[in-house]
Amino acid sequence: MITFEHRTEPLLPKRLFVARLLRSAAAAFVILLGSLGLGVLGYRGFCELGWLDALVNASMILSGMGPVDPITTTAGKWFESAYALFSGVAFLTSVSVFLAPAIHRLMHKVHVESEDEQRER
């Protein structure tokens, strides 16, 4: 689990911040890879597509581009609908996990600077 420093603590050194950013990137990658794997298995099983076609469709849905192959089975249509909704949330979650350290650092830095300015007054 990635923890952040409290507002009363000093800004994290750059080396440790980069390590935190890399851990967040790895976590975001795992979320995307797991979501892609789920999509590939679903397209393979419910939509009766080959492995490569399942990968292409799952990738396209996960990236927000839309499906490639027409789905003919009822189970496949149900899966595709659910996977499309899931993919939107999974993609936004992975972006949030990736950006969280940078946003936290920016907010922390602004807060530390504003406290320094108040002390000078």
Note the pLDDT tens digit of each residue in 57-99: 999 999 989 889 999 999 999 999 999 999 999 999 999 999 9
Question: What integer pLDDT is reported at residue 37 of this predicted model?
Answer: 98
Question: What integer pLDDT is reported at residue 121 of this predicted model?
Answer: 62
- The CA distance from 101 to 62, in Å, is 23
21 is written with which tokens? 């950013």
The neighbour count for residue 8, using CB atoms within 10 Å, is: 8
- The CA distance from 64 to 84, in Å, is 8
Model confidence band, residue 1 (pLDDT cutoffs 50, 70, 90): low
pTM, whole model, 2 decimals? 0.81
Q: Characterise 64 by phi-psi region: left (phi > 0), alpha (psi -120 to 50), beta (else).
A: left
Q: Is the dihedral of CA 102, 103, 104, 107 positive or negative?
A: positive
Model confidence band, residue 9 (pLDDT cutoffs 50, 70, 90): confident
